[in-house]
Structure 1
Amino acid sequence: MMTDDSVSQMAVHRRWVVFYLATVFAMMTMQMSSLGFSPLLPDIQREFEMSFSQMGMFTGIYGIVALIVSIPAGIMAKQYGEKKVLAVGLFILALGLLGLSFAENFGEAITARAVWIFGYRLAFVCVMTAIALTAPPNLKGRAMGVLGAASALATVVGAPFCAEIAKTLGWRHAIMGFGAMAIVGMLVFVSFYKQRAEVTKPGAGGSEQKRGAFSAFRVPIVWTIPLLGLTNAGGFAATFFLPSVLKAEFNMDATAAAGVISIAYIVAIFVNPLCGYLADRFNRWLVLAGMMLMMIPASLGMMSHNILVFQICATGLISLGLASTNQLYPTIAELMRGRDVGPLMGITALGGGIFGYLGPQALGWLRDWSGGFTAGWYALTGVAAFAACLILFLKGYADRNNARLARHAAMMEAKQC
């Protein structure tokens, strides 16, 4: 006879698409500002008289905040539930955007940016946790791929959205518009997403509760996971510096730069589900390594003075970088099967944050040091090559570990017989 709890859990399982779509919508509203604001960077740089190194700090503070927030966000998602933490994160994100719109100097601007990214990282980790908990196992790669496509669509919409508002009302009003969208995302998510039962009911979860909030971090291999943040270092850095490169090399304004960025993210709408499908169908690690290898010629092509070649390479770098970010999360499950989802999502996000800071910061330093962007593109080429090697190394570990677990399970089954 079925209990009320089992009936409720079956109903939740059947409604996973509703919860998934609510999560995707929340991600879109926060992603509009995260990457879509890049056409405003030249105006913001001019407003606060930033050097390129300062602009690298302004954009790269994303990574500094992620160093502080990502792991605690994963633990909070486990302890309090992804629904509450995600809603709070979106609210803080909106407050940070409002603060930036009123900033009067560089200090106030970077403080508001830090608050904005603090909220973003809380929400981002909980988005990944929510999808990992709601999507069926055989669809996780495609679910993450669709999430990446939705994120790309949000950037496609967000870049011209802010550029048009900035053209008529100024960049400050465009930033306010992003904050309003985050509040809409929060309201939709809270209204349609249902918290999983083991969090909403204290004491549920049995032996998993005894593992503790920090149990996943006691396994040494977990601390290699942040290095996988290198997979999107190139795409992340290229997104933020694209308007400056286009202005310096091709004399394009913010509106034209928004168009180039939009094309890159339109392509990413199709690249993300394709990579998700390939990851579900074939070996996740090999697909991810192949994506890194494709980013090597894309990084080298960013040095071209031909606008068509430059745009093709920028599109490849950005779309593959975004797709790699989304495929990291289901791939990590192959490395550490059976571990707590929230903390693992947090430490994976930590890696993205580290190199989300170092990528733009390094490009800024190299730009000020060399007087051009060529050195930065060479550096990103090396990063892509190293990331591919790292992925193949971790694949070998995962294969050996999973084979060992399978042998152990077979031995235990034989003993029981």
Structure 2
Amino acid sequence: MAHYADSDIPVVSVSRRYAWIIFALTFGLLISDYMSRQVLNAVFPLLKLEWQLTDAQLGSLSGIVALMVGLLTVPLSILADRWGRVKSLTLMALLWSLATLMCALSDSYAEMFAARFLVGIGEAAYGSVGIALVISVFPPSLRATLAGAFMAGGMLGSVLGMALGGVLAEHLGWRWAFAGMAIFGIVLALIYPIIIREKRVTPAVPASGKQRPSLRGLFNNPSVLCTYVASGLQLFVAASLMAWIPSFMNRYYDLGTDKAGMAAAVFVLISGAGMVVCGSLCDRLCRDRAERKISLAIIYCLLCCLLLAIGFRLEAGAVQLVFIGLGMFLVAGTTGPAGAMVANLTHAAIHGTAFATLTLMNNLLGLAPGPFITGMLADGIGLENALALVPIMSLASALVFFFAKRHYLRDVHGVRLASDEAVAV
């Protein structure tokens, strides 16, 4: 069967300068999203001490956000496409920022859980709607790079959330850590709709009035199903590490809350850089051979598993930190390739919902259960031993990607034929 290059994506006609402004502001809100989400991890030790929480309870405060994102991302993304992406993104940002402010005012585990529940609702569809907006105003040749770079904003936001949150918690108390994240999000959300206008970024409706492709196209080939699952399994590892690295540094390296947060932030920053590099490498090597994306994803998974498994079995020290850092560089490297594969394997008209489905699986299989299950394991066998077991999920991800590779060319060919037939109608 013939090899395929990346398929075309309809692009909204805006200037390159305005496209980069859209990227910058949408990227900024994504940073706020993850600052509000991950600041909790920096104050785990303080909450554990003040409220006498178990590791499983701490993990649930992190996992509930990802769970709500997973459950609501698809329906809210569909609503956003109908109501308007700019208005929807603004409302989401205001909701998660106000909910983060509620976290600062919480006086018990139950109140904090309820506030984090609302944070999850606010953040539910931001990733899928935001990336759909960004991709729509850029050339299709930047698909994997944009997907990797945009989602790396999550890592950068995690870095800032844990680092700044740790510093604020150490000097002003954990409540100010949440309040600082909330204020940043509210300010940026108020600026966003002033600069980005809905009419300028809304795709024109085709004059032909052709019927939109069925949403069954989200699931009607094995390669796209495998991509959803494999991406979620790999992000199980990423989510577990992001949630528990601050506590790992606190318990095994005797660092205070501020220094543990800063150290963890460095690891997450390394992971964000890896997302950008891995996505860019994917675009460079796979421009004319789209199936190479899967091979690269498999390599990322296997190397990540090896490096992290070795790292968490070493004694505390510089060598251990180097291995963990190398593993963190690759832990989310599949984000760019997976996003590009989903775009190749679904019709362009339903890419927004396709990215929402990818986000759903990322959260239900990875981001939501990862911190919670790791916390449960830590209660039983210790945090270091629990983190040493987590990379096994990377092996599972590699196996699923390998299955997708067996069907990929045939499935891409089927999507191309269906698109051509729709155009010919």
TM score, norm. by length of structure 1: 0.87
Pick which of 316-325 and 54-63 moved more.
316-325
Partner residue in 1 for 2:277: 274
Structure 1: runs of 5 or more not aligned = 1-7
Give 2:320's match in structure 1, choosing from 310, 324, 327: 310
Q: Give distance in 2, aligned partners of 1:410 and 1:101.
A: 53
Q: Matches of residues 186-335 of structure 1 in structure 2 within 5 Å? A: 186-195=189-198, 199=202, 207=209, 210-211=212-213, 214-217=215-218, 219=220, 221=222, 223-227=225-229, 228-282=231-285, 283-300=292-309, 301-335=311-345
User: Could you give the per-residue CA deviations for residues 311-364 of structure 1, whole angstroms, max 9, x where no partner exists?
Assistant: 223323434233433443222112224350221111100111112121111111
Letter in 2 for 1:369: G
Letter in 1 for 2:319: V
Instruction: Indicate if the aligned counterparts of 1:30 and 1:181 stay in contact, CA closer than 8 A.
Output: no
Shift of 1:158: 2.9
Q: Matches of residues 9-408 of structure 1 in structure 2 within 5 Å? A: 10-11=13-14, 15-195=18-198, 199=202, 207=209, 210-211=212-213, 214-217=215-218, 219=220, 221=222, 223-227=225-229, 228-282=231-285, 283-300=292-309, 301-354=311-364, 355-378=366-389, 380-404=390-414
Q: Give distance in 1, aligned partners of 2:140 and 2:54.
A: 47
Shift of 1:194: 3.7
Shift of 1:67: 3.1
Shift of 1:101: 0.7
Letter in 1 for 2:409: D
Shift of 1:407: 7.1
Q: Give distance in 2, aligned partners of 1:165 and 1:198.
A: 38
Residues 241/63 of structure 1: CA separation in 2 closer, same or farther (3 Å cut): same
User: Could you give the per-residue CA deviations for residues 114-154 of structure 1, whole angstroms, max 9, x where no partner exists?
Assistant: 10121112322221221222221001222223324444333
Instruction: Indicate if the aligned counterparts of 2:100 and 2:179 stay in contact, CA closer than 8 A.
Output: yes
Instruction: Indicate if the aligned counterparts of 1:128 and 1:329 stay in contact, CA closer than 8 A.
Output: no
User: Could you give the per-residue CA deviations for residues 207-261 of structure 1, whole angstroms, max 9, x where no partner exists?
Assistant: 465446x454563645545412112111110111112222222222212212221
Residues 206/12 of structure 1: CA separation in 2 closer, same or farther (3 Å cut): farther
Residues 351/357 of structure 1: CA separation in 2 closer, same or farther (3 Å cut): same
Q: Give distance in 2, aligned partners of 1:29 and 1:373.
A: 30
Partner residue in 1 for 2:289: none
Shift of 1:80: 1.7
Instruction: Indicate if the aligned counterparts of 2:242 and 2:268 stay in contact, CA closer than 8 A.
Output: no
Partner residue in 2 for 1:4: none
Instruction: Indicate if the aligned counterparts of 1:86 and 1:124 stay in contact, CA closer than 8 A.
Output: no
Q: Give distance in 2, aligned partners of 1:24 and 1:82.
A: 14
Q: Give distance in 2, aligned partners of 1:409 and 1:342.
A: 16
Aligned partner of residue 304 in structure 1, secondary structure: coil
Letter in 2 for 1:267: I
Q: Give distance in 2, aligned partners of 1:411 and 1:188.
A: 43
Pick which of 233-242 and 182-191 moved more.
182-191
Pick which of 40-49 and 340-349 moved more.
40-49
Letter in 1 for 2:318: L
Letter in 1 for 2:276: P
Hey, which of these two has a bigger chunk of helix by percent?
1
Q: Give distance in 2, aligned partners of 1:142 and 1:210.
A: 27
Number of paired residues? 405
Shift of 1:185: 2.5
Instruction: Indicate if the aligned counterparts of 2:125 and 2:356 stay in contact, CA closer than 8 A.
Output: no
Q: Give distance in 2, aligned partners of 1:253 and 1:185.
A: 31
Q: Give distance in 1, aligned partners of 2:220 and 2:201.
A: 24
Instruction: Indicate if the aligned counterparts of 1:238 and 1:314 stay in contact, CA closer than 8 A.
Output: no
Q: Give distance in 2, aligned partners of 1:151 and 1:408.
A: 34
TM score, norm. by length of structure 2: 0.85
Q: Give distance in 1, aligned partners of 2:226 and 2:95.
A: 30
Partner residue in 2 for 1:3: none
Shift of 1:273: 2.4
Identity %: 18
Letter in 2 for 1:181: F
Aligned partner of residue 315 in structure 2, secondary structure: coil
Residues 33/326 of structure 1: CA separation in 2 closer, same or farther (3 Å cut): farther
Shift of 1:296: 0.7
Measured on the aligned residues, the alpha-carbon RMSD in Å equals 3.0
